[in-house]
């Protein structure tokens, strides 16, 4: 049995396992970046990690602040621009991309733009960024969820999953055949999409999480794999990597903010003491 | 500092001269190293009525919106500055009806600038977006947000966006010469396109360097001097964001002070009173920062060098005439050549 882990760590490690060796990988902001670094280090050493800012083939040394963070590595192999990063995706050179989720429906369609009315929002979310184009043209897309919500109807349709399910995505003729979300990984489990109906189902459940707790977040009658198993436990090596590389991910949002604020207060007090 | 040029000026002079009320203004930087001092100066001068273009809005867009400078925002991504539970200046302005927004994807937004940069009137973009609300829901651009045309070669539907050619671009780079040759490296994003699409360009830089440095590394130049209107030397000009090779992001200022402040209108207003309106220029801003938090807080952020291998721009020779004064392919000296021209009646008195 491996050492104890947090659900955020398990999420990042499960995401890393979606990357195969020799793949071209587009990383999104947050968890996917740490997952990408883990994959590169332990699981898929020949993967090429890239970001829409035009940073291609980066070996991050510490967790990245954003998708244009060249400070987290010692150089990288190819400095292209955003335009070319997307046209490379359009031409089919990206095997897998990773997107964070704010709202998602049962066919993997996403909203990252707005909650409520577009012009007078209840909550203005960041927007598409690269999401809509990546999920359209990467060969497959892995969705990551750390605090988003499952909904029957999106408030705003930002990024196309399987549209109305079945063959509706392929039928539009707008997307590469077979592209679309291949998994949604949350802090509770791994969901995949039925090959025929394209409806999301629960494929594996994380250790220590109950089926009820998964279902209570989901407003439709969630389909569950008939051979539902537990998500494979992370190895000690994987856990150690995450803790060294991205300690704030291990700490989780709440504890990170608490510790950061305490450190800030301490710094301010020290400074006040010096000035006195 | 290189020789004095008419383009070298303070942020105050550059903004007063080249940024006008009602302009289409583009923030050239993308996600990192934003032109903080130019943005703060625009806000201090109370410029208003902008249509603001920002590929990825961070504190820069928040300050301009909270400063009342922006009527319309064209963007793909706006940071929720106050965190998940807090709000943002953009959200508050949308709710109050004082800001209109138009959402594109990263590629579409960039494609508009690339069209503008090359002088085209539109650019094809990736057609998958036609099934989404990004295509279906139109903001202030209405029908002009997108148009679908038929490809004259394949007959397929092509999604297009109109060119963008903003009136003025503000941008921060690592270094420039006094004439405005601007060198930038790292995450290239849409930085060059934003500048080159624009009618006027204000470049701020960490340092003004001799022209010889630029000449030996032209692959780093993203904006040529002839396009640049003003060059502003501003060390720490992107703080609290980062500049590769100079300093890291200041998480103490950014995540600690700014993000906490941005969650409410009054918090952000107080923060801006102190850090934007309260500091007449970047030198005062840095002095204030050091007085408050100590110089060691800034020193910790300074980059340790990791130099790019020099690219060799050398050549075998730099003269047609060899060491004996003979032309390398014709084999004659210049006097011999002149004599031959004379003999053959090729020269005229």
Profile chain B (349 residues) by mean pLDDT over runs of 10 residues: 75 98 98 97 98 95 98 95 83 96 98 98 98 97 98 96 98 98 98 98 98 98 98 98 97 85 93 98 97 91 96 95 96 97 94
CB of B31 within 8 Å of any CB in chain A? yes
| Least Cα separation, residue A75 to chain B (angstroms) | 8
Residue of B248, B249, B256 with shortest CB distance to A264: B256
| Least Cα separation, residue A1 to chain B (angstroms) | 36
pLDDT the model gives residue B1: 45
**Residue B151 has which token pair?**
């490809």
Which chain A residues are Cβ-neighbours of B27 within 8 angstroms? none
| pLDDT tens-digit series, residues A174-200 | 999 999 999 999 999 999 999 999 999
| Least Cα separation, residue A71 to chain B (angstroms) | 6
Report CB contact under 8 Å: A67, B306: no
pLDDT the model gives residue B5: 67
Give Cα A236 to chain centroid, integer Å.
22
Which chain A residues are Cβ-neighbours of B134 within 8 angstroms? 113, 128, 132, 158
Report CB contact under 8 Å: A136, B129: yes
| pLDDT tens-digit series, residues A109-163 | 999 999 999 999 999 999 999 999 999 999 999 999 988 999 999 999 999 999 9
| Least Cα separation, residue B314 to chain A (angstroms) | 23
Let me know how long chain A is: 276
Q: Exposed (0-12), middle (13-18) or buried (19+): which is B222, by Cβ within 10 Å?
A: buried
| pLDDT tens-digit series, residues A67-113 | 999 999 999 999 999 999 999 999 999 999 999 999 999 999 999 99
Query: Percent helix, strand and coil across chain B, each rounded to 5?
Result: 35, 20, 45
Between B274 and A276, where is the model more confident?
Answer: B274
State percent of chain B over pLDDT 70.
Answer: 99
What ipTM is given for this predicted complex? 0.94
pLDDT the model gives residue B130: 98
Q: Which of A38, A73, A37 is nearest to A239 (CA)?
A: A38
Report CB contact under 8 Å: A82, B94: no
| pLDDT tens-digit series, residues A29-62 | 889 999 999 999 999 999 999 999 999 999 999 9
Tokens 């590469």 belong to residue: A176
Active site residue A52: yes
Which chain B residues are Cβ-neighbours of A260 within 8 angstroms? 255-256
The residue of chain B with its CA nearest to that of A70 is B186
DSSP string, B88-136: -HHHHHHHHT--EEEE--HHHHHHHHHHHHHT-SEEE--GGGGGSHHHH
In B, residues 307-346, which contact A (CB 8 Å cutoff)? 308
Rounded Cα–Cα distance for residues B295 and B170 (Å) = 28
pLDDT the model gives residue A266: 83
Which chain B residues are Cβ-neighbours of A70 within 8 angstroms? 32, 186-187, 244
Compute the average pLDDT of residues A7-35: 95
Residue of B88, B185, B293 with shortest CB distance to A79: B185
Rounded Cα–Cα distance for residues B152 and A80 (Å) = 30
The answer to whether the beta carbons of residues A57 and A22 sit under 8 Å apart is no
Which chain B residues are Cβ-neighbours of A61 within 8 angstroms? none
Q: Which of A76, A25, A79 is nearest to A47 (CA)?
A: A25
Q: Is the pLDDT of residue A168 over 90?
A: yes
| Least Cα separation, residue B175 to chain A (angstroms) | 17
In B, residues 78-137, which contact A (CB 8 Å cutoff)? 78-80, 84, 87-88, 90-91, 94-95, 97, 100-101, 103-108, 110-111, 114, 126-134, 136-137
Tell me how far apart the 2 most distant CA atoms of chain B are, in Å.
89
Among A9, A52, A199, A238, the active-site one is A52
Residue of A118, A126, A132 with shortest CB distance to B132: A132
Residue of A86, A125, A131 with shortest CB distance to B126: A86
Residue of A129, A133, A147 with shortest CB distance to B129: A133
Tokens 């204000």 belong to residue: B202
Which chain A residues are Cβ-neighbours of B30 within 8 angstroms? 53, 68, 82
Which chain B residues are Cβ-neighbours of A147 within 8 angstroms? 84
């Amino acid at each position: 049995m491996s050492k104890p882990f947090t659900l955020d760590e398990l999420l990042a490690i499960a995401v890393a396992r979606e990357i195969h060796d020799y793949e071209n990988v587009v990383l999104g902001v947050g968890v996917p970046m740490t997952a990408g670094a883990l994959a590169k280090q332990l699981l898929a050493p020949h993967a090429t990690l890239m970001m829409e800012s035009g940073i291609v083939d980066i070996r991050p040394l510490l967790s990245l602040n954003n998708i244009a963070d060249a400070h987290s590595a010692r150089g990288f192999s190819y400095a292209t621009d955003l335009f070319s990063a997307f046209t490379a995706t359009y031409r089919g050179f990206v095997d897998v991309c990773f997107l964070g989720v704010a709202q998602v429906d049962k066919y993997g369609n996403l909203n990252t733009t707005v909650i409520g009315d577009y012009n007078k929002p209840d909550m203005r979310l960041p927007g598409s960024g690269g999401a809509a184009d990546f999920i359209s043209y990467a060969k497959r897309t892995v969705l990551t969820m750390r605090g988003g919500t499952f909904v029957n109807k999106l408030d705003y349709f930002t990024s196309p999953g399987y549209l109305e399910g079945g063959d509706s995505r392929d039928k539009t003729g707008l997307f590469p055949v077979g592209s679309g979300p291949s998994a949604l990984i949350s802090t509770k489990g791994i969901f995949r999409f039925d090959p025929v109906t394209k409806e999301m189902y629960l494929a594996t459940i994380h250790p220590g999480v109950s089926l009820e707790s998964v279902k209570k977040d989901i407003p439709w009658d969630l389909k569950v794999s008939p051979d539902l198993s537990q998500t494979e436990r992370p190895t000690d090596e994987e856990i150690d990597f995450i803790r060294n590389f991205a300690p704030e991910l291990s700490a989780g949002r709440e504890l990170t903010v608490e510790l950061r604020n305490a450190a800030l207060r301490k710094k301010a007090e020290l400074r006040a003491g010096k000035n006195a | 500092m290189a020789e004095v040029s008419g383009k070298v000026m303070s942020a105050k002079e550059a903004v007063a001269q080249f940024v006008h009320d009602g302009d289409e203004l583009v923030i050239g930087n993308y996600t990192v190293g934003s032109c903080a001092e130019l943005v703060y100066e625009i806000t201090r001068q109370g410029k208003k009525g902008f249509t603001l273009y920002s590929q990825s809005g961070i504190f820069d867009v928040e300050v301009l919106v909270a400063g009342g400078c922006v009527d319309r925002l064209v963007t793909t991504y706006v940071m929720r500055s106050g965190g998940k539970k807090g709000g943002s200046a953009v959200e508050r302005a949308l709710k109050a009806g004082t800001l209109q927004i138009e959402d594109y994807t990263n590629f579409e937004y960039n494609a508009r600038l690339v069209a503008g940069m090359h002088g085209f009137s539109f650019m094809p973009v990736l057609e998958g977006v036609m099934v989404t609300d990004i295509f279906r829901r139109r903001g202030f651009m209405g029908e002009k947000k997108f148009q679908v045309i038929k490809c004259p070669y394949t007959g397929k539907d092509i999604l297009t966006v109109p060119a963008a050619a903003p009136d003025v671009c503000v941008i921060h780079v690592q270094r420039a010469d006094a004439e405005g040759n601007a060198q930038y490296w790292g995450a290239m994003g849409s930085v060059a396109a934003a500048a080159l699409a624009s009618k006027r360009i204000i470049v701020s830089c960490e340092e003004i360097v001799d022209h010889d440095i630029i000449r030996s590394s032209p692959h780093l130049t993203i904006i040529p001097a002839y396009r640049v209107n003003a060059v502003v030397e501003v060390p720490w000009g992107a703080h609290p964001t980062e500049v590769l090779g100079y300093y890291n992001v200041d998480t103490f200022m950014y995540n600690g002070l700014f993000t906490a402040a941005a969650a409410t209108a009054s918090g952000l207003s107080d923060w801006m009173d102190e850090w934007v309106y309260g500091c007449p220029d970047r030198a005062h801003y840095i002095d204030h920062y050091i007085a408050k938090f100590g110089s060691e807080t800034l020193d910790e952020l300074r980059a340790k060098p990791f130099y790019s291998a020099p690219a060799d721009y050398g050549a075998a020779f730099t003269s047609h005439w060899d060491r004996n004064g003979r032309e390398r392919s014709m084999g004659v000296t210049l006097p011999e050549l002149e004599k031959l021209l004379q003999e053959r009646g090729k020269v005229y008195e």
